Structure 1
Amino acid sequence: MARYRFETDEHEMFRETLRKFLAKEAVPHFEDWERNRLIPTAFWKKLGEMGFLCPQVEEAYGGLGLDFSYGVIIGEEMERVGAGLTGVGLHNDIVVPYIEAYGTEEQKQQWLPGCISGDYITGVAMTEPGTGSDLANIRTTAIRDGEHFVVNGQKTFITNGINGNLFLVVVKTDPQSQPKHRGISLLMIEERTPGFSKGRKLDKVGMHSQDTAELYFEDCRVPADNLIGEEGKGFTYLMEKLQQERLIVAIAAQTASEDMLEMTLDYVKSRQAFGRSIGSFQNTQFKLAEVATKIELGKAFLESLIEDHMAGKDVVTKVSMAKYWITETARDIATECMQLHGGYGYMEEYKIARRFRDIPVASIYAGTNEVMKMIIAKNLGLK
C-alpha cells in the first residue's frame, strides 16, 4: 500500500507500531470475536494504553495532540484486520470530536481522559426505528425540568451499543419548533443514568464482532450540564461533524477494496485450473485490471480530500461524492473478488466471504448513498 503524500517518517513509525500491536492483540483473536459477536472491552483498554484512542485530543486531557492524519492511519489499520473494528474509528473520530469542539471545560475534564484510556467507550445515538437520515424528524424528547432534562424515546442501530457507556444522544428539546431542526439538541448520557436501558444486541448480516444495539430512555433524568453546546444548535453541530464521519466511512471502504484486491491476487496466482493458474486467464486479468484501476482512482481522490479536510476547506460536496462512489465501488469489488475465488469464496474460512458480508452497510450508514446524491445535486444548483 503506497503511503499518502502527507505521511512522514513519524506517520510510518506510528503505522508500524499499530500494525505490530494489532498483529498480536487483534488478528489472532478476531475470528473468535466474530463468532462471539463482541470485541472484549479489555482490547479497548489495551488500545488506550498504547495511545491509539483519541490521539488527536490535547495533551492537557491525556491525549497526544496529533492531527487527523493519524486517525486516518488508525482507521486503515483497523479495517485491514476487519470491519468489525469500525467502532474504534467511531469513538476516536466521530463522537469524541463533539466533546472537543463544543464541550465546556468541565465536560472535557470529565469525559476526555476516560475516552483516551478506554474507560469510556462512546457511541452516537441518532437513528430511531422510524427515522434514519431524516434527522429533523426524530421523536426522542428531552424536556427541561429544573437542573435536568427528562429524556423519553428509543434509538436503534447504535454502533458500540453494548460495550458503550457514554452516548451522544440526538434529542428534541423543543418538539414544537418550526422549522423542526431548530428544536434539536445534543446530550451526553452515561450508561448508569436511571431510566436509560439497552435492548438486545442486534443480529446483523455482517460486521458481526461490532456490537450494535437498541437504546431506550424512559423518564431518564439527565443533568442539564450534560448538554453539548447550545440548546437548539444540535442540527448545526451534526451537519458540521457529519462530514468527517462520511470521510471515515470512505476511507474504510477504500481500505477494504485494497485488502480484497491483495487477497484475490494471491489466490488467482496460486489456484490452478485447466493446468495453469487462474491468473493467467484473460478474463481474470481484465477483471483485476479494472479493480486495480478503480482502487487507484479512489485512493487519489481520497488523498486530496483528506488534505483539503485537514486544511479546513469546505469539502461537503466532495465528501458526499467519495462516500457514495467509494462504498459502491467496494461493493462491486467484493462481488468480483468473490466470483474469482469460485466456490471457495463462499466459504467462511476465506476472508473474502466476510468482506462480501461486511461491505454493503457502508452504502447505508452515515447517511445513505441516496442522501449523498441529493447533497451533490443540491450543491450543483439542482433543486
Structure 2
Amino acid sequence: MILTDLNDDERMLSDALSRFAEQELAPAMPGHLERHEFPAELVRTFGEMGYMGTSYDPDYGGGGLGTRGAAIVAEILARTEPSFAAIFLCNSAPCSLISRYGSDEQKRLWLQAANEGRMVASFGVTEPHGGSDVANIKTTAVQDGDDYIINGMKLFSTNAGTPTHGFSTVVAITDPDKGAKGLSSFIVPVGTKGFSVGKRASKIGWRFADSVELYFDNVRVPAGNMVGNRGDGLRQILTVLSIGRVLMAATALGLSRRAMDLAKAYGKDRKLFGKSILEHQGLAFPLADILTKIHAAELMVRHCACLIDANRPFRNETSMAKLFASELAVEAALKAIQVHGAYGIFEEYPVSGLLGEAKVLEIAEGTSEIQRLIISRELMD
C-alpha cells in the first residue's frame, strides 16, 4: 500500500519548515546564488532548529521522523532553493552511514553533533578513475597498531571545506586481496593532520553547495573511527546511496513543483493573441503532462520512504524513483523556461537557474544510466 497522508508530526514539520523557507531562506538566497557563497549562518540556523536530524533517532538529537520526514524536508527546501536542499542531502549520506552502522560512541560524538546543528558532514566515495564504479576505489587504509593510516583522494565531496564542516566519512581499501569485500568506512574529523580539501569549483547546479576534492596524506585515525565491521564498506555505501536516491527524488519533486510555480505565475499574466499563454494548448497540454508526472513522482517518493522505514527491500524502487523524478525535473525546468520565452534565459529570472540544478540531480547519486542498469537486473531474477 502506498501511504501519502501526512501524520500529525509530519504535518507540523511541513508547516514549520515551509515558514522557515518562506521567511528566512527565500529572501537570503539571491545574494548567495549570485556570489556562489555557502550560506553558513543559514545552515547553522537550519541545523539548530533540528531539521538536519529530522530522520534520526531522538536519543542522538534527531527528530525520529524517518525517511518520510527527510523526504518532506528535501522537497520543501528544493521548492524554495535546490542548492540549499543539496546541503541537506549531502549531510544526510554520512549521517545515515553512522546512524545505520556506527557504534553508540560514534553516534553520540558525530551523529548527535550533526543532528543538533553544531557541524555538517561530507561523504568521501567518488574517485577520478572510479566514477559510477563505486567498487573501484584506490584510497587505502593500512592498519598500524591501534590506528589506520589513510592515503588517497576523493572527488565531489559536497559540504567539505565549509565553515561548518566537522567530519567526512571515507571509504578505503583495508584488505586489497579481497577485492570489493576489502573496503571499509572511516570517520575522519576536520583538522586531522594530513587531511585537506581542494579549492571549491563553480557548478551549473548546487551553486553554493561547495563541492571539493579531499586529500589524505598519511592521515592517522584511531581504529575506533571505523564505521561498522572491517570489509563491510561496499555494502554500507550501496545501502546509503540507495537511501540517498529517495532524497534525490524528493529534491527533484520539489524542483519540478518550483518550475511549475514559476511557469504558472508568469504564464497567467503573459498575454498572447489576446489571452493568457496558458490558455493556448501548445503550452497548457505539456504542463498538464508535467503536473501528472509530479503526482506520480510524489507517490513513488512516499512509497520508497515507507519501504525504508518499514525495513523492507527498497533498492530497485529507490532507483526507479530517482530515475523518474530527476528526468522529470529536467523536463519541468525546460518547459518552465520555454513558458518564459526570451526572459527565461536571463539570470534575473529565477527560472533560468533551474535547468542546471535539475541536471545535477540526473547525475549525482548515480546517473540515469546506472539507475536503468540496477532496475534492468530485475529482468534476470
C-alpha distance after superposition, 1:3-23 (max 9, x if no partner): x72302332222111111222
| Inter-partner Cα distance in structure 1 for 2:66 and 2:142 | 37
Offset, 1:175: 2.4
Measured at CA, do residues 298 and 113 of structure 1 come closer, stay the same or move farther in structure 2, by a change above 3 Å? closer
Query: What amino acid does structure 1 have at the position aligned with 2:252?
Result: A
| Inter-partner Cα distance in structure 2 for 1:48 and 1:315 | 28
| Inter-partner Cα distance in structure 1 for 2:69 and 2:299 | 18
* Larger relative contact order (CA 8 Å, sep ≥ 6): 2
Query: What amino acid does structure 2 have at the position aligned with 1:166?
Result: F
Is the 2:86–2:206 contact (alpha carbons within 8 Å) kept by the matching residues of 1?
no
Q: Under a length normalisation based on structure 1, what TM-score does the superposition of the two structures give?
A: 0.94
2:302 paired residue number = 303
Offset, 1:276: 2.2
Task: For residue 135 of structure 1, give the secondary structure of its aligned residue in structure 2.
Answer: coil
Query: What amino acid does structure 1 have at the position aligned with 2:211?
Result: T
1:345 paired residue number = 344
1:245 paired residue number = 244
C-alpha distance after superposition, 1:241-278 (max 9, x if no partner): 22111111111111111221121112111111233221
1:255 paired residue number = 254
**Any residues of structure 2 matched to 1:283-294 within 5 Å, and which?**
283-294=282-293
Is the 1:54–1:92 contact (alpha carbons within 8 Å) kept by the matching residues of 2?
no
1:93 paired residue number = 92
1:229 paired residue number = 228
Measured at CA, do residues 200 and 88 of structure 1 come closer, stay the same or move farther in structure 2, by a change above 3 Å? closer
2:173 paired residue number = 172
| Inter-partner Cα distance in structure 2 for 1:379 and 1:216 | 38
1:114 paired residue number = 113
Q: Does 1:17 align with 2:4?
A: no
2:354 paired residue number = 355
Query: What amino acid does structure 1 have at the position aligned with 2:304?
Result: L
Is the 1:202–1:214 contact (alpha carbons within 8 Å) kept by the matching residues of 2?
no
| Inter-partner Cα distance in structure 1 for 2:169 and 2:67 | 21
C-alpha distance after superposition, 1:14-48 (max 9, x if no partner): 21111112223211111111122232322222123
Is the 2:124–2:170 contact (alpha carbons within 8 Å) kept by the matching residues of 1?
yes
Task: For residue 380 of structure 2, give the secondary structure of its aligned residue in structure 1.
Answer: coil
Offset, 1:92: 5.3
Q: Does 1:279 align with 2:278?
A: yes
Offset, 1:314: 0.9
**Any residues of structure 2 matched to 1:35-184 within 5 Å, and which?**
35-91=34-90, 93-163=92-162, 164-177=165-178, 180-184=179-183
Task: For residue 63 of structure 1, give the secondary structure of its aligned residue in structure 2.
Answer: coil
Aligned-residue CA RMSD (Å): 1.7
Q: Under a length normalisation based on structure 2, what TM-score does the superposition of the two structures give?
A: 0.94
1:373 paired residue number = 372
Please, which moves more after superposition, 325-334 or 123-132?
325-334
Offset, 1:174: 1.7
Offset, 1:315: 1.8
**Identity over aligned residues, as a percent?**
32
| Inter-partner Cα distance in structure 2 for 1:135 and 1:5 | 33
C-alpha distance after superposition, 1:319-342 (max 9, x if no partner): 111111221122122112211110
C-alpha distance after superposition, 1:137-188 (max 9, x if no partner): 11111111112111111111111122222101011112232xx211111000
Measured at CA, do residues 231 and 134 of structure 1 come closer, stay the same or move farther in structure 2, by a change above 3 Å? same
Structure 1 segments unaligned to the other structure (5+ residues): none
Offset, 1:367: 1.2
Measured at CA, do residues 343 and 46 of structure 1 come closer, stay the same or move farther in structure 2, by a change above 3 Å? same
| Inter-partner Cα distance in structure 2 for 1:334 and 1:47 | 27
Offset, 1:91: 4.9
C-alpha distance after superposition, 1:282-302 (max 9, x if no partner): 211222122222222222333
Query: What amino acid does structure 2 have at the position aligned with 1:175?
Result: P
| Inter-partner Cα distance in structure 2 for 1:43 and 1:347 | 27
Q: Number of aligned residue pairs: give it.
A: 377
Is the 1:89–1:248 contact (alpha carbons within 8 Å) kept by the matching residues of 2?
no
1:265 paired residue number = 264
C-alpha distance after superposition, 1:77-122 (max 9, x if no partner): 1111211113443255322121122111221221122112222210
1:204 paired residue number = 203
2:313 paired residue number = 314
Is the 2:91–2:122 contact (alpha carbons within 8 Å) kept by the matching residues of 1?
no
Offset, 1:63: 2.6
| Inter-partner Cα distance in structure 2 for 1:35 and 1:148 | 44
C-alpha distance after superposition, 1:326-364 (max 9, x if no partner): 211221221122111100111112121111121101111
Is the 2:72–2:250 contact (alpha carbons within 8 Å) kept by the matching residues of 1?
no
Task: For residue 194 of structure 1, give the secondary structure of its aligned residue in structure 2.
Answer: coil
1:29 paired residue number = 28
Measured at CA, do residues 347 and 175 of structure 1 come closer, stay the same or move farther in structure 2, by a change above 3 Å? same
Measured at CA, do residues 37 and 75 of structure 1 come closer, stay the same or move farther in structure 2, by a change above 3 Å? same
Query: What amino acid does structure 1 have at the position aligned with 2:116?
Result: S
Query: What amino acid does structure 2 have at the position aligned with 1:38?
Result: E
